[in-house]
Amino acid sequence: MEPRISAGPCSGMQGCSMSAGREGASVVREMPVHGGQVRQVMQRFPDAPTPFIDLSTGISPYAYPVVFPSQDALTRLPETCEEDALLQAAARAYGVPSTDMIAAVPGTQMLISLLPYLLTSRDVTIFGPTYSGHETSWQYAGAQVEIVTDAAAFQDATMKSGRVCILCNPNNPDGRLLAASEVSRLARQCEVSGSWLIVDEAFADFHDASVSRTLPQSGLLVLRSFGKSYGLPGVRLGFLVADPVLAGAARALVGSWPVGTLALEAGIQAFSDGGWLERSRRQIQQDRKRLEQLFRRAGLEPLGSCLLFMLIRMAQAQDLWCFLCERGIVTRIFAERLTDLRVGLPRDEDEWSRLNAALLQWCEH
């Protein structure tokens, strides 16, 4: 049973009301288009306690302990040997046989923006609802984009010639997770029909559903994020994994020195420490269960299989978002789906305690 909603739960906000309806939807549309940007969000809540808790991004709460080089590393351009070392470490981590199949970039968002200039097709099907950046980048490039929301329609798209099909796995924001065998089957279908399958595996490091190990395969492109899994989003590091022709074209497109010296060092160290990622995975599995329990005690049913976040779907999602913001806790609300609220993992016991207290208050108010 969902908790009762009192009138005007966002009375602490300046100049607007999130109680319900058009006014609430208008305020949500003024929020950042992505997670993060906590200071911008919290300008609306001047009476909220600090420090603010950012649960809006789905980034691992555990940061890899990088030993960064001295400041001298910032006074020179990256060396070729450093770039090669990063590609070798990434190839081992993603299970591909050659560095010719890897392109490193400053974050997968850049790859998403560049993919329309890497592939020639302007007919695109996206398995949604999903991360909006894919649709935005292809529309900006003049593509005809359709969003389908069921597996059968997406499979039909993979059978069409010369089409770009885009799948996020695990999906953001609802945590939908397809088995690697199912994704591989879709990739083979694209190969037969002469299409491309782009699989965004930004949240895949803690799951066993990656298809990067099936490469090289004509028409399959896999995007991998570094910062989300290793808790270092500010490093800005991501990878395209594809057949050597496509990966080589991507490297040519981004040009020389695509990744800075600090990101190179962080990637080499973290990828070479496989034990750390497995230990982090075990801890995150426990944290995800703990987060589910908190929300279930508040009468809310979490959705999705992604370990780094969960989705709450409810008619009062706007009110809950605002209620938590008033208590200094920022989650992810979606202007295009006002019933959805995505919640990431707290970082420490203080954050867990504050979230638990806020949910108990929500249940009782």
At 237-280, the pLDDT tens digits run: 999 999 999 999 999 999 999 999 999 999 999 999 989 999 99
Confidence of residue 337 (pLDDT cuts 50, 70, 90): confident
Angstrom distances, CA of residue 183 to CA of 12, 186, 219: 46, 5, 13
**Whole-number average pLDDT of the chain:** 91
> According to the model, what pLDDT value does residue 27 have?
59
Alpha-carbon gap, residue 360 to 7, rounded angstroms: 18
Alpha-carbon gap, residue 286 to 284, rounded angstroms: 5
DSSP summary character for residue 103: E
> According to the model, what pLDDT value does residue 20 have?
42
pLDDT at 68 over 50: yes
Helix or strand or coil: residue 9? coil
> According to the model, what pLDDT value does residue 40 have?
83
Confidence of residue 42 (pLDDT cuts 50, 70, 90): confident
Tell me the pLDDT tens digit for each residue of 281-290: 999 999 999 9
Q: Per the confidence metrics, is the pTM higher than 0.85?
A: yes
Q: Which letter, b or e, does each residue of 30-53 get, where b requires 16 or more Cβ atoms within 10 Å of its Cβ?
A: ebeeebeebeebbebbeebeeebb
